[in-house]
Amino acid sequence: MTLPTQTLARLLLAPLLVLAAGMLVKGYTDVGDGFAAGLLAAVGFVLQDVAFGQRRAESLLPVRWAYRLALGGLGLALAVAVAPMLAGEPVLKHRPEPGVSPVKVGTLELITPVLFDVGVCLLVLGTVVTGLHLFAHPGEEEEQRS
Amino acid sequence: MSPVLPLMIAWVAAVVLALLDSRRRWVAWLVVAALALVFASSLALLLDVLAHGPRTTVAGGWPMGIGIVFSADALGATFAAVSVGVVLAAVLFEALHGTRSRTFGALALFLTTGLCGLFLTGDVFNFYVFFELAMIAAYSLTTYGQEARQLRAGLVFAVVNLLGSFIFLIGVAGLYRVTGTLTMELVAERVATVDSAATVPIAISLLVAFLVKLGLFPFHFWLPTVYASARPAVAAILGGALANIGAYGLLRFGADILPETLRLGAPVLLVLGIASLLYGSLQAVARRSAPGVLAYSSIGQVGYVIVALAIGGPVGYAAAILYAVVNSLNKALLFLASELRGWLVGLAFAVGALSVAGVPPAAGFLAKLEVLRAGVEQGAVVLGLLVLGSALSFVYMFQIYQHDFWREERSVPAGGRAIGAVTASVAVVVLALGLWPEPLLAVSRRAAAMLAGGAG
């Protein structure tokens, strides 16, 4: 790829991640949620792949950890869903409860669904990056881990 | 007891075990332990539902109509318990064999998560989500073994069933369009007032999707390749647990949500069911390998479920549920036993063969009896064709039994005593349900009465 593409790709990574974080936070009052945020963040990584080629991009970025990131995100989202059940409440019950005014950081309200959305975001990001890696190197994954 | 308990145990276990390598012995046993826990909780849920009536919970504790509903009734809990039981037997079988892929355990658990979710949800869209989760896990599981034929089977399976899922999604979107809700109970209520010009296309798309999943006659083309190429444990999961999605889906969406439309389409279902029954049986008679016979037998056997569903009413629905449950146990037993040898396994296979053929004291006798009882009202032609199908199943099952188990020349790895014991224990369940049929009959009648009564 040409130098302008590479420069642009590199320049865009950080803003895309910030945009993704914004999308996640905005989701509570406006358009956006964890899923869209995850996709946006993943676009940042896909862009590096396209601009630098799979090999170089993967040597620069922690792609190896994407698989664990995805499972970690799923685990986080599930933990938010299951935790209320341990206290005998319905699944996915959120804290603080509706009606109780939560702590606010800017427009973001600190409630457990935010954690759930962070989990979803990580899951989407991890899945896209892992998928891309597996399509580029089919069969390699199995050998590495054995 | 919360209806989401089995679902959440399976899901959390799946995530944790996805990080571990199932080829290690202790991980394989951890998978078995997790599935045993899921099985125990789904059995407890079934007993709870039978004793105290349906259990419903709304995610997040939101009011009905706002939150997503999870609901366990006799029908869903029965299918959940049976399907999880089959997956448990298959995974135990594979753990004793030595699991060959690192992802097998996690995939089996994700599949269980999907199955528990869709049997225990009260939301039409969530049904689709869990359905897709179970299917995706199943596509990957089909390739287990990693030989060319398994990869080919996986591709065929994925392509055809993705189309099926897509058609199902169109049906779900249609239901939402005409009723404005996704909660099954409310959909069932509101759809009664909708013009049949709108409900018939929706019902057709749902029907096609579930028939593809079941592998009924005109939609069966993918099934023999997949079932015959998959490893025995995977084939048992596909035939014994995953195929339940089709039977359950037809009962839930047909009998529970769209009963009027089901009545309208009953003649079509009756013809399709009988066609599938005869086609599957005739093809099975012509096969010479156990997996081939079993694959075509699956196509034939689901015909009975569809015929019973088409007959409808409390008797028909009860027969459909009973047949679906017994059929899934039969298929699990036969696929597990198909590649092993030895007197214990031979005995287990014979029990399965008796059950498919409908010979007492195996549970299959009971199931066939119920279907025939329901079929009596349909007149001599239907009854005659059902009996013909039965006779053919007797022919192909014993043909393959004789061919595979009485000839000693085939040297197949015996597979150890413990594996034989797992297979035999499934056979014992099939026999026990045949000898003491009251609980199963009572459960299926309870569920059928609920469906026929129209109360979700």
Whether residue B102 lies within 8 A of chain A, CB to CB, comes out as yes
Chain A environment of B8 (Cβ under 8 Å): 78, 81-82, 85, 91
| SS3 state at B70 | strand
Q: What is the pLDDT of residues A80-137, one digit of tens each?
A: 999 988 888 888 888 888 788 888 887 788 888 899 999 999 999 999 999 888 888 7
Interface contact flag, A82 B12, Cβ < 8 Å: yes
What is the count of structural domains for chain B?
Answer: 1
d(CA B305, CA B323): 6
d(CA B449, CA B315): 9
- Shortest Cα–Cα distance, A12 to chain B (Å): 32
> Do residues B39 and B86 make contact, with C-beta atoms less than 8 angstroms apart?
no
Query: Cα separations (Å) of A121 from A44, A47, A114, B232?
Result: 14, 18, 10, 37
Number of cross-chain residue pairs from A and B with Cβ atoms under 8 Å apart:
44
Chain A environment of B1 (Cβ under 8 Å): none
- Shortest Cα–Cα distance, A10 to chain B (Å): 31
> Do residues B224 and B279 make contact, with C-beta atoms less than 8 angstroms apart?
no
Chain B environment of A81 (Cβ under 8 Å): 8
Chain B environment of A82 (Cβ under 8 Å): 8, 12
Query: Cα separations (Å) of B433 from B60, B202, B234, B326?
Result: 39, 37, 24, 9
| SS3 state at A105 | strand
Domain span including residue B247: 5-407+414-453
Kindly report whether the global pTM for this prediction surpasses the value 0.95. no
- Shortest Cα–Cα distance, A145 to chain B (Å): 9
By CB atoms closer than 10 A (0-12, 13-18, 19+), residue A73 is: buried
Interface contact flag, B60 A145, Cβ < 8 Å: no
Chain A environment of B109 (Cβ under 8 Å): none
Please report the sign of the dihedral spanned by the C-alpha atoms of residue B297, residue B302, residue B307, residue B308.
positive
Considering only residues 89 to 108 of chain A, which have any Cβ-Cβ distance to chain B shorter than 8 Å?
Answer: 89-94
Residue of B nearest to A94 (CA): B60
- Shortest Cα–Cα distance, A82 to chain B (Å): 7
Instruction: Tell me the ipTM for this assembly.
Output: 0.87
Interface contact flag, B18 A146, Cβ < 8 Å: no
| pLDDT tens digits in sequence order for chain B, 456 residues long | 788 999 999 999 999 999 888 888 899 999 999 999 999 999 999 999 999 989 998 988 888 878 889 999 999 999 999 999 999 999 999 998 888 888 899 999 999 999 999 999 999 999 999 999 999 999 999 998 888 889 999 999 999 999 999 999 999 999 999 999 899 988 988 988 888 888 999 999 999 999 998 888 888 889 998 999 999 999 999 999 999 999 999 999 999 899 888 989 999 999 999 999 999 999 999 988 888 999 999 999 999 999 999 998 889 999 999 999 999 999 999 999 888 877 888 889 999 999 998 888 889 999 999 999 888 888 888 899 999 999 999 999 888 888 877 776 554 555 677 888 888 999 999 999 999 989 999 999 999 988 887 543
Which of these, A39, A23, A35, lies nearest to A108 by C-alpha position?
Answer: A23
Chain A environment of B154 (Cβ under 8 Å): none
Interface contact flag, A68 B19, Cβ < 8 Å: yes
